[in-house]
Copies of this chain bind each other. A is one copy, B any other.
Amino acid sequence: MVTIMDKLQTKEKQSDLRMTRQRRLILEELDTPGMHPTADTVYQRVRRRIPNISLGTVYRNLEILSQAGMVKKLHIGSGQKRYDRTLHRHYHVRCVKCGFISDVPAEPFGDLEEAARGSSEFDILGHDLEFEGLCENCKGDGIQQHQD
């Protein structure tokens, strides 16, 4: 089991990262704006350019990049984990019908944490906010399948 101590330690090592072809292409895929791909989606896409890359490598890299703070792991919806290139802080909306995830360009609400501090014994360090709703496609009762 990976402990937080592992995480904290790994975070220090981010300068050691070697920029392999695999890692560079994985990062490139994540740079596509508005994407919140699963590990498998990243795998499928990078495979177009490195046909024999392994899914294990993709998982390993997403984990490493996530611990280095270059990528954010999202635990949205009930399915697989998703990954988001962390450029600036933002929120997400998930379509309750098709699962499509989109960015919400709203400014982070700073006072949320202040309010939580008043009613919890925790040291509050941050927050994640996820909206639920119906995406453009699903508003009209259409049952389309959205992409990542």
* Number of copies of this protein chain within its complex: 2
Q: A75-B78, A127-B129, A128-B129 are in contact. Are A135 and B122 (CB under 8 A)?
A: yes
Asked if A76 CB lies within 8 Å of chain B CBs, one says yes
Task: Judge whether B121 and A131 touch: CB under 8 Å.
Answer: no
Task: Judge whether B81 and A78 touch: CB under 8 Å.
Answer: yes
Stretch at the interface among A21-29, A37-45, A93-101: A93-101
Task: Judge whether A139 and B116 touch: CB under 8 Å.
Answer: no
C-alpha gap A147/B75 in the complex (Å): 21
**What are 7 pairs between A and B in contact, CB < 8 Å?**
A4-B98, A102-B120, A106-B116, A109-B112, A113-B131, A122-B133, A125-B133
